[in-house]
Amino acid sequence: MTQTEEQAVSAQDTPLVPIEKIVSLCKRRGFVYPNSEIYGGVSGIYDFGPLGVELRNNIRRFWWWSMVQTNDNVVGIEGSIITHPRVWEASGHVENFVDRLVDCKNCKRRFRVDHLPEENIRQNKCPVCGGELTEPRKFNLMMETYIGVVEGERMKTYLRGEACQNIYLDYDNVLKSSRVQIPFGICQIGKAFRNEVTPGNFLFRQREFEQWDLQFFVHPSEMQQWFDYWKERRFEWYKGIITHKDRLRFRAHGADELAHYAKQAFDIEYQSILGWQEWEGIHWRQDWDLSRHSQYSGQDLSYTDPETKERYIPWIVETSGGVDRTFLNLLLDAYEEEPPTGKDKEGRTVLHLNPVLAPVKVAVLPLQKNKEELVTTAKELHHKLRRLMVSQYDEVSNIGRRYRRQDEIGTPFCVTIDFTTLEDQTVTVRERDSMSQIRLHLNEVPAYLLERVRWDYTV
Ligand code: GAP
């Protein structure tokens, strides 16, 4: 097998989904559109359509619920995208947030040095055509912007290159304004911006993207214990939202990748057609961030233990992942083209999304659109359900085609109103993955569905 063929098969011999299939589904069904498409688009920047925004909101809300709302020792903030420029000097981004790039003198392709195989770096050879490579050049990834309108008084600053910096900036305010004590965590979901020199693979590497971070503040003596705790919790969280559990693993950072303050770091990786790739990083940040911000701002960010009166700079466990990578990985994980079977003679494309995250929870379908009683009953049920969850009413084309439309966007349940409904008030509830059908009384439908699409279901 060639490397590409090997990559196209996962650990359990399940075919991996080509990214083009996801790109096409996303555009066709309104999940993701290229940004500014009518002007030719901007590389590495995307917009989310009607279904995309529902899926994205569900992903975000579910993370927030699991990380903030169900942990007594974790609180949330929402910081700004623009901060004082000194923040990025203190964080090291102005000096060190760079990609090293080489160009092929022959085919003119450009590569990130850290993405090149060892062999090619050693021989200074292009991995595509074998041509000679240029000397590496450094590019800073920070996106610049300016505050103020008067020329000469404008202050240059940056769109944040990582969202977590706000948490260090607000750490002292949170401590003073909330009833939290170490050990405790602060969470945030927010946009980050990087002038990625090689954006690509759809949502995987973008220039504008969204991160979710937990920064957990601990006493140095408890660092290892909390690091291990969050590392396992985050792994289980991702495992809980995917179908192919064998496509998730930890990768320990090698000694040459670790920051000088980090004793260890792990990536949670997902295996897709792109290979094994980082989904979230679990980082040992020690006292680096708070010490640097203390030093650069002149503010004392140390913590005094209320009982022992010990004074120290807290150490930090960071878990930092991406909303967009989660969005992409979930689609890659959920997508399946099923061949024709006894149950579905035409075959179907289905998204096996976790019902908790699916953009539409239920579709209400009258068997025929020209039978007034069917339509009225279906619309009444839809109006009742849409107050509880995202419900779609659909009466266009035959029932099989309508099921397939919903399967393709991952709707876990379809409720069909048929002629028996008019006699005994029962409806057919069809489940997406098994395509099994049961009959329920109309009054039972809301509770039945709610039970299956609630936040704490399955995970
Ligand atoms: N505060 C630590 C930090 O920013 P990172 O590994 O650079 O660490 C964390 O980013 C996560 O953000 C990654 O695991 C990934 O999910 C997401 N991410 C990073 N760069 C990205 C990009 N260019 N496009 C989409 N997601 C990205």
- Summarised one tens digit per residue, pLDDT across range 390-424 is 999 999 999 999 999 999 999 999 999 999 999 99
- Summarised one tens digit per residue, pLDDT across range 371-380 is 999 999 999 9
In this prediction, residue 456 carries a pLDDT of: 60
Q: Could you tell me what percent of the chain has a pLDDT over 70?
A: 96
Q: What ligand 1 atom has the least distance to the C-alpha of 322?
A: 16
Please state, in angstroms and rounded to a whole number, the distance separating the CA atoms of residues 88 and 96.
10
Q: With 80 as the cut, is the pLDDT of residue 342 above it? A: no
Q: What ligand 1 atom has the least distance to the C-alpha of 161?
A: 4
Q: With 90 as the cut, is the pLDDT of residue 195 above it? A: yes
- Which residue minimizes the CA distance to atom 19 of ligand 1? 322
321 CA → ligand 1 middle, Å: 6
In this prediction, residue 241 carries a pLDDT of: 95
393 CA → ligand 1 middle, Å: 38
- Summarised one tens digit per residue, pLDDT across range 116-154 is 999 999 999 999 999 999 999 988 999 999 999 888 889
User: How long, in residues, is the chain?
Assistant: 459
Work out the pLDDT band at 12, boundaries 50, 70, 90.
low
Q: What ligand 1 atom has the least distance to the C-alpha of 281?
A: 14
Name the residue of 283, 319, 325 whose CB sits within 8 Å of the most ligand 1 atoms, as the mutation to test its pocket.
Answer: 325
- Summarised one tens digit per residue, pLDDT across range 210-240 is 999 999 999 999 999 999 999 999 999 999 9
211 CA → ligand 1 middle, Å: 7
144 CA → ligand 1 middle, Å: 19
In this prediction, residue 106 carries a pLDDT of: 92
Q: With 70 as the cut, is the pLDDT of residue 457 above it? A: no
- Which residue minimizes the CA distance to atom 25 of ligand 1? 205
Q: Of 300-304, 346-350, 436-440, which gets the smallest average pLDDT? A: 346-350
Work out the pLDDT band at 458, boundaries 50, 70, 90.
very low
- Summarised one tens digit per residue, pLDDT across range 58-85 is 999 999 999 999 999 999 999 999 999 9
Work out the pLDDT band at 13, boundaries 50, 70, 90.
low
Q: With 50 as the cut, is the pLDDT of residue 382 above it? A: yes
Q: With 50 as the cut, is the pLDDT of residue 42 above it? A: yes
337 CA → ligand 1 middle, Å: 30
In this prediction, residues 346-357 reach a mean pLDDT of 95
Which residues lie with the beta carbon below 6 Å from any ligand 1 atom? 162, 164, 194, 196, 205-206, 209, 211, 278-281, 320-322, 324-325
3-state DSSP of the chain: CCHHHHHCECCCCCECCCHHHHHHHHHHCCCEEECCHHHCCCCCCEEECHHHHHHHHHHHHHHHHHHHHCCCCEEECCCCCECCCHHHHHCCHHHHCEEEEEEECCCCCEEEHHHCCHHHHHHCECCCCCCEECCCEEEECCEEEEECCCCCCCEEEEECCCCCHHHHHHHHHHHHHCCCCCCEEEEEEEEEECCCCCCECCCCECCEEEEEEEEEEECHHHHHHHHHHHHHHHHHHHHHHCCCHHHEEEEECCCCCCCCCCCCEEEEEEEECCEEEEEEEEEEEECHHHHHHHHHHCCCCCEECCCCCCEECCEEEEEEEEHHHHHHHHHHHHEEEECCCCCCCCCEEEECCCCCCCCCCEEEEECCCCCHHHHHHHHHHHHHHCCCCCEEECCCCCHHHHHHHHHHCCCCEEEEECHHHHHHCEEEEEECCCCCEEEEEHHHHHHHHHHHHCCCCCC
Q: With 70 as the cut, is the pLDDT of residue 112 above it? A: yes
Q: Of 100-109, 203-212, 426-435, which gets the smallest average pLDDT? A: 100-109
Q: With 80 as the cut, is the pLDDT of residue 455 above it? A: no
Q: With 50 as the cut, is the pLDDT of residue 3 above it? A: no
Please state, in angstroms and rounded to a whole number, the distance separating the CA atoms of residues 314 and 303.
7
In this prediction, residues 341-351 reach a mean pLDDT of 85
Q: Of 46-55, 254-263, 338-347, 436-445, which gets the smallest average pLDDT? A: 338-347
- Which residue minimizes the CA distance to atom 21 of ligand 1? 205
Q: With 90 as the cut, is the pLDDT of residue 343 above it? A: no
Work out the pLDDT band at 155, boundaries 50, 70, 90.
very high
Q: What ligand 1 atom has the least distance to the C-alpha of 267?
A: 14
In this prediction, residue 276 carries a pLDDT of: 97
Q: What ligand 1 atom has the least distance to the C-alpha of 196?
A: 23
Q: What ligand 1 atom has the least distance to the C-alpha of 199?
A: 23
- Summarised one tens digit per residue, pLDDT across range 264-306 is 999 999 999 999 999 999 999 999 999 999 999 999 999 999 9
- Which residue minimizes the CA distance to atom 17 of ligand 1? 322
Beta pairing, strands 315-322 & 275-286: antiparallel
Q: What ligand 1 atom has the least distance to the C-alpha of 280?
A: 14
270 CA → ligand 1 middle, Å: 14
The mean of the pLDDT values for the chain is 94
In this prediction, residue 429 carries a pLDDT of: 98
Q: With 90 as the cut, is the pLDDT of residue 46 above it? A: yes
pTM of the entire predicted model:
0.92
- Which residue minimizes the CA distance to atom 22 of ligand 1? 205
